[in-house]
Structures are given as structure tokens and as C-alpha cells.
Structure 1
Amino acid sequence: MNKITPTRPRASDQMWLDAALELLIEAGVDAVKVMPLAKQLGLTRTGFYHHFRDREALLDAMIARWEDKNTGNLIARCEAYAETICEAMFNLQDCWIDRSLFDAPLDHAIRSWARHDPPLKQRLDQADARRKAAVLAMFRRFGYARGDAEIRAMTILYTQVGYISMEVEEDPARRINRVPAYVELFTGETPSKREIDRFRTRNGY
């Protein structure tokens, strides 16, 4: 009888990157090293270098993933089609509900890393400026004065940063139920039942 030898998983850039991001969230950037990642994945250390030039290249890829996912999706939700400011705000609120759009633990980990990494802090500041500009533009699109739009944008973003930094754990259904009140608070407009129902349905509630 032939003995079956277990095979190693087929490695990919995505596999190494996903594992590195998980480690960043769990233990911080100092824990993101090639050997622990290889052990976690059941791969060889030398195999890592077929996918990334060195650890710095991996770190750069991690930051790029965060920028593309969190900042990119936030901007896209602000620019998504909406007939009213309430509908636009519900589009943005999807980010705080759907982790495939916006990864809050990753955002928290990046902010913690940036405290000790000046170049990353600069990129974080740029990302925050792009997010603010997108939310501000969303309000301007619906006729809000620039000063008013800027205050509303800052309130929304600072509220969410507070949620993230305080690591608030909230029952998903309870948070969904609160979103219409947040939408009214942030916009000064009362969302329609149709708008609320669409938001709840697409988020599984």
C-alpha cells in the first residue's frame, strides 16, 4: 500500500497577505514576520520570497490593501447613486455594517501602527483627508453649504473612528435598528420607510 504524503497548500501572494493582515490585527506590526507566517501557513520561509521581495514589500502590500479596501470603498459608497441625502447616507452606513466593504479592526490596527511610523502616519492623514473630502462632496451634491457639509462630514467620520478606537462591540441587529436615527441626526432629514427598508434588506435585516 502506498503511503499518502500530506501535501502543502499551494501558496499565493493572497495567502501570505491575508495571513499577515490577520496577524497585524491580532498582535500588531512587530509580530508580522516571515517565520511566524510561514509556520502559521504550513509553508517554508524560503517560499515567502517567491511572492514578496522582503518583509518591507509585504508591509507595503498590507498598507495598499487597507487603502484600496477601506478608503476606496468608503469613497465609492459616497459616490454611489442616491436620489436623496438620506439614501446617500444609508449607502455610506453600509461600510460600518459590511466588513467586506470596510474592515474596522484593520483600520484600528493601521492607526496603531501609524503612531510609531511617520511615513505611514502621512499616508493615514492623506487617507483621512480623502475620506473627509468624499463625505463633504456627498453633502454638497445635495445642496448643503460648504461649512455645514464639512461639519457633518467630520461628525460622521469622528464618530466612526470613536467606534473603532473604543473597540465597541454591538449587537448587529441593534446597530441596524439605530442607523435610521443616525441618518436623521447626520443629515437633518427624516429617512422614508422605503429607504429604511432597502437598507435593512440589503444588510440581511
Structure 2
Amino acid sequence: MSTPTKSPESGWRGSAEGWLQAAYDSLVESGVEAVRIQPLAKKLNLSRTSFYWFFKDRDELLAALIERWRAKNTGNLVGQAEAYAESIAEAILNVFDCWLTPALFDSQFEFAVRSWALQEPRVAEEVDVADKARLAALSGMFERFGFDGMSADVRARSTYLTQIGYISMNTHEDALTRMQRIPEYVKIFTGQPPQPRELERFYARHGYAVQAPTLVALAAKGPLHT
């Protein structure tokens, strides 16, 4: 967050990022109706007029929220789909990084924006554009590994819509259960199991340690049961 700007006339004005972060927090916690200038000013302990040093009006602030969501969630998902991979199994694991790394993909933000879209046609249009871009990136990922157009499209949709379903249902899994399900998801979405070395790299970057025999079992048989 940038350092607040001080003025003899208006005192501490805060910063554009500070106002945007407060708007994000309110959106995620309480929905778009909570994103109002006066409540945000109170939350930040700033004057209402200081808002106008950074944003023309509430609509401009809401547009900045959408841009933040677009850049983070769509931008990172597309980037992960296009990342280098030795196989389609590893490519899908790159995409799964989004579901497990809030820095890459903010599921709470996604839920809040999709809920907002139910009330606001302009936001619904933004969500539609984002969905198309994400699906195109996933479909292109499958095509790079030799899947024909229809197969790539259906697999992309299966991969993406499953995760959007998780988000829309506000589903929560403990980390162990989710990690144990990963190999089976890879097989379902790609038609092939991940190699133990691919799983090992994936698990390592998410801080999940398993022994080599367990990796082989996971790749060959799908999820273990606790």
C-alpha cells in the first residue's frame, strides 16, 4: 500500500490503493452494496472528500475493482494455461496451481464478482468475457498437446466449470483431502495419469510432502482415503 499523501487543507487523504483495498474487503465480506464512499471513509478513518482525490465517483471505484479482478484472476489463469509443461498432465497441474494459490487466483473475489453479476448486467458482461477468455486459454492448452477441437473444448469446459462450481457452492476441503484428489482429477480431465515426478513437483510447491511409494500409488490408483 502506498504512503498516504498529506495536505494542510484536507489532512490525510489515504491513497488510491488504500481506497481500492477497502472496497475489495467490503465487496468480499458483504457484497457490492457495502461498497459505498461514506462507510469506506469511516473504515479508513478518512474524510469522505478525500475519496475524490483518487476517484471521480463510486462507479470509477467499482470499475477499478473489476479491473483488479480481471488482471488477477483471468490474467493469472490464462498465464498458467500457457505455461511450459512436458505433458498435458503437467499442464493441468500448472492450472491447478491457481486453485491452491490465492496469490494467483482469488476464489473469494471470484465468488463476490459472480454474485455481483447477478445484480448488474454490466458486470455480467465482464464475467462472460472473462469466462470466454479463460476457456479459450484452457482449450488452447489441450490443443497444444494434440487434442482435437471438440475434445479440447469439452475437456477445457470440464476443467473450468468444475472449479467454478466449487467456488459458486462455496465448497471447502481440507488440504489433505484436496491433495489426495488431485491425481484423479488429472486423469479425468486429461485422460492420462500424472507421472510421479510431475506430482512430486506439484506437491512440493504447495508444501505437501509424500514419500515416493505414495506418489506411485496416487498416480496409478487415484486418491487415497483417510
Which band: TM-score by shorter chain? over 0.9
1:61 aligns with 2:47: no
- Structure 1 moving runs of 4+ over 6 Å: none
RMSD of aligned alpha carbons: 1.3
- Check whether the contact 2:13–2:51 (CA below 8 A) recurs between aligned residues: no
What is the deviation of 1:90?
Answer: 0.4
Residues 48-101 of structure 1, C-alpha deviations (whole Å, 9 max, x = no match): 111111111100000000000000000000000111101100000000000110
Query: Judging changes above 3 Å, is the alpha-carbon distance between structure 1 residues 9 and 99 closer, same or farther for their aligned structure 2 residues?
Result: farther
The 3-state SS of whatever aligns with 2:170 is: coil
Unaligned runs of 5+ in 1: 1-7
Greater RCO (Cα-Cα under 8 Å, separation 6 or more): 1
What is the deviation of 1:160?
Answer: 0.7
Residues 141-196 of structure 1, C-alpha deviations (whole Å, 9 max, x = no match): 00001111111111111101110011011112321221121111110111111100
- Check whether the contact 1:78–1:134 (CA below 8 A) recurs between aligned residues: yes
2:31 pairs, out of 25, 28, 40, with 28
1:152 aligns with 2:166: no
What is the deviation of 1:20?
Answer: 0.6
The 3-state SS of whatever aligns with 2:95 is: helix
Give the Cα–Cα distance (whole angstroms) in 1 for the partners of residues 26 and 207 of structure 2.
29
1:13 aligns with 2:19: no
2:122 pairs, out of 116, 119, 124, with 119
Give the TM-score taking structure 1 as reference length: 0.93
- How many residues align? The count is 198
In the alignment, which residue of structure 2 is the partner of 1:49? 52
In the alignment, which residue of structure 2 is the partner of 1:3? none
Give the Cα–Cα distance (whole angstroms) in 1 for the partners of residues 176 and 65 of structure 2.
31
In the alignment, which residue of structure 2 is the partner of 1:70? 73
AA matched with 2:183: P
Give the Cα–Cα distance (whole angstroms) in 2 for the partners of residues 22 and 152 of structure 1.
34
The 3-state SS of whatever aligns with 1:140 is: helix
Give the Cα–Cα distance (whole angstroms) in 2 for the partners of residues 190 and 89 of structure 1.
11
What is the deviation of 1:10?
Answer: 7.0
> More displaced, 120-129 or 58-67?
120-129
Give the Cα–Cα distance (whole angstroms) in 1 for the partners of residues 115 and 67 of structure 2.
16
1:79 pairs, out of 72, 79, 82, with 82
Give the TM-score taking structure 2 as reference length: 0.85
AA matched with 1:140: E
Give the Cα–Cα distance (whole angstroms) in 2 for the partners of residues 118 and 165 of structure 1.
18
1:99 pairs, out of 89, 102, 106, with 102
Unaligned runs of 5+ in 2: 1-10, 209-226
